[in-house]
Amino acid sequence: MLARLITRIANAMAMLGGLVLCLLIVMTVLSIIGRGLNGLGHDATLERALPALAAWLVAHTGPVTGDYELIEAGIAFAIFAFLPICQLSAGHARVDLFAKALPPVAHRTLTALWEIGLALVIIVIGWRLCLGFVEKLDNGQTTFLLQLPVWWAYGASFLAACVAGLVGIYCAAMGLLELVTGRPHLPSSDGAAP
């Protein structure tokens, strides 16, 4: 029951992160096309051959205003939104040069220690995001071009980090349970059991 709930939450966060990432990709493509068309409008040959078109391109096309600001905030959120599913499925990079050669109990011990360590790192990152969120909320800082409050990005990333922290705690608890029982309890426990 708890495993299904954690999996659903992790999947929902990944879907939300994917949606944000897709929207950022569309915005980036539109911004690049707009920047290119605006540059074309400034082309001397086009200005001589079709001055009305060149003037229209200069007046009506260009990059998306604040695209870098939106990308910065959106990517930060997407990274934290993908952390829960990555943690749950053991999608993090790891090097198993010698771990596979260890006895099963030693391998389970390393896995439990890894899960605990990663959960602690995610919790510390979430704590620091919370402090940044409170600071940005208090000082009223805004982005340069769009004048969006910076705390929005910190708040969204903090919420995603909280979900990642909960999934990290769950994975750490399941890693410890695997160590004690010798049976796999995580979807990523291929080969951890004897």
**Stated length of the chain:** 194
Position 191 scores a pLDDT of 40
Asked whether the predicted pLDDT for residue 187 surpasses 80, the reply is: no
pLDDT digits (tens, 9 = 90+) for 145-177: 999 999 999 999 999 999 999 999 999 999 999
CA distance 180 to 77: 36
CA distance 31 to 41: 15
CA distance 152 to 140: 11
pLDDT digits (tens, 9 = 90+) for 68-87: 999 999 999 999 999 999 99
Which tokens sit at 185? 């309890």
pLDDT digits (tens, 9 = 90+) for 118-129: 999 999 999 999
Position 194 scores a pLDDT of 33
pLDDT digits (tens, 9 = 90+) for 40-69: 999 999 999 999 999 999 999 999 999 999
Query: What's the pLDDT band for 189 if we cut at 50, 70, 90?
Result: low
The share of the chain scoring above pLDDT 90, in percent, equals: 81
Termini Cα distance of the chain: 25
